[in-house]
Chains A and B, each alone.
Chain A
Amino acid sequence: MMFVKKAAAVTLGLTLLLPVAGHTDDKDVIAYRQHIMKSLEHQTAALGQILSGAGPAENTLAHMETLALTASIALKSFEAKVPGGAAKPEVWSNWADFSKRMKEFAEKSAEMAKVGREQGVDQAAMLVIEALPCKGCHDDYRNEKS
C-alpha cells in the first residue's frame, strides 16, 4: 500500500515536470497557453458586452458554449512547468491551488452553458459571476500587462 502511494506521488511529480505530449519546446508551450487564454479573454469580453446591453443578445448561448469548451482545456495547457509569458511562477509553486481554481472554472462554465441550453440564457446569466472568476485568479497568477 505504501509502495502504491509512493508510486502515485512519483507519477504525479513526473506529470508536472515533464513536457506535455505534443509540445516540441518551451516556446510552443507558452504560445499555446497564450492562445487559449487570449481566446478566453475575447470570448469573455464579447459575452460581457452582451450582458451589459452592448452586444447582440442572440449570440449569448454561443459565447457561453465556447467559454465552456475552452475552459475545459485550459488547465492542461499549464501542466508543463514552463514559466514565461504572463504566467507568474506561483502557477507552479502553488499548483494545488491554481489547478483547483482552473478545475472550478471549467466545471462552473460548463454548468453555465448547460443551464443556458436547458433553461435559457436569462437563467444562465445568473451564473456568469461564479463561472468566470477571471480577476481573482489573474491577481494571484498573472503578471500585469506591460
Chain B
Amino acid sequence: MLHRSAALPGLAWAAIACAGSLLPVSGFADDQDVRDYRSHIMKTMGEQLAALDQITKGKAPAGDVLAQAEVLSITAGLAKLAFTPKVEGGRAKPEVWREWDDFSKRLDEMAAAAADLASAAKQGGVAAVTPKLGSLSCKGCHDVYREPKK
C-alpha cells in the first residue's frame, strides 16, 4: 500500500496537479474521489479509442498504433475496480450496481477485447487492429449504464 507521506517529499505532491486543480487529500472512501477516479479512467479510454479510430482511418500516424492500443488495454484492465465501490453519481446510472453481474461481465469482456487489440497491434499493426476495433464498441454498454450528457 502506498501512503501519501511516503510517496512524495513534503508538499511536493501538490505540484502534480496537472489537471488544473488540486486534488483532495483524503481516502478513496470519499465518494467524490471515487466518482472522479472512475471518470478519469473512462475519459482516458474515450480519448484512446478516438485516437485509435483516427489511426485506423488513416487520419493519424500508423506508427502510434501499438502505444495507443497498449494504453487502452492497461486502462481497460483498471475499469472494473474503479466501479467496484457502490457510489452512484456522475454519469453512471444506478443500474451499474443493480445489474452488477451483467455490468461487470461486460467490463471483463471489454478488458479482454482491449488486450486482444493490443496483441493484434503488436503482431500486425494497423491492418490487424482495424477489423478488431469494432469489438470495442462502447455504445452498447453506455446505452444501458451511462446517463446522457446534460
Contacts and interface: CB of A to CB of B under 8 A. Distances in A.
Interface of A: 20-24, 28, 31-32, 35-36, 38-60, 62, 65-66, 69-70, 72-73, 76-77, 121-122, 125-126, 128-129, 132, 134-135, 138, 145
Contact of B6 (A77, A122, A138): A122
27 contacts: A24-B58, A31-B50, A35-B47, A46-B40, A48-B17, A48-B18, A49-B23, A50-B2, A51-B7, A51-B16, A53-B25, A53-B28, A54-B24, A54-B37, A55-B28, A58-B81, A60-B2, A65-B74, A69-B67, A69-B70, A73-B61, A73-B67, A76-B63, A76-B64, A122-B2, A135-B15, A145-B20
A55 B50 contact: no
A114 B28 CA distance: 26
A48 B28 CA distance: 12
Q: How large is the interface on B (under 10, 10 to 19, 20 to 34, 35 or more residues)?
A: 35 or more
Contacts, number: 170
Nearest to B75: A66
- How would you classify the secondary structure of chain A's contact residues: helix, strand, loop or mixed? helix
B42 to A, nearest CB: 9
A48 B27 contact: no
Contacts of B33: 49, 54-55
A53 B26 CA distance: 6
B128 interface: no
